[in-house]
């Protein structure tokens, strides 16, 4: 996850409400997450196989990595 994306958290609370928005965040907090600054770096880490999953809302970066042969795939968050 991007270490600088506080807007994402705030949006989740606004869209889902306090209770529903905090539930997935608490679940994420229990995991050993790796925070990196920037979506490009996150995509590079994922493409290099250094992370099994990434939250990245810039799908064009994932698609570019895939075209270069990176072992990546994208899913909308609504499908998770």
pLDDT in tens, 15-39: 889 888 888 888 888 988 888 898 8
**Residues 6 or more apart from 12 whose CB is under 8 A from it?**
21, 24, 25
Residue spans per domain, the chain: 6-72
Q: What is the pTM for the complete model shown? A: 0.66
Confidence of residue 79 (pLDDT cuts 50, 70, 90): low
Q: For 34-68, write each residue's pLDDT tens digit.
A: 888 988 999 999 999 898 888 777 889 999 999 99
The span from the first CA to the last CA of the chain, in angstroms, equals 16
Average pLDDT over the chain, rounded to an integer? 85
6 vs 43: CA distance, rounded Å: 19
What pLDDT is recorded for position 63?
Answer: 92
């Amino acid at each position: 996850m991007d270490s600088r994306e506080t807007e994402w958290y705030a949006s989740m609370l606004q869209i889902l409400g306090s209770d529903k928005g905090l539930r997935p965040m608490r679940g994420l907090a229990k995991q050993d997450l790796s925070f990196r600054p920037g979506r490009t770096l996150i995509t590079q880490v994922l493409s290099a196989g250094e992370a099994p999953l990434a939250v990245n809302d810039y799908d064009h970066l994932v698609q570019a990595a895939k075209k270069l042969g990176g072992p990546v795939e994208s899913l909308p968050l609504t499908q998770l």
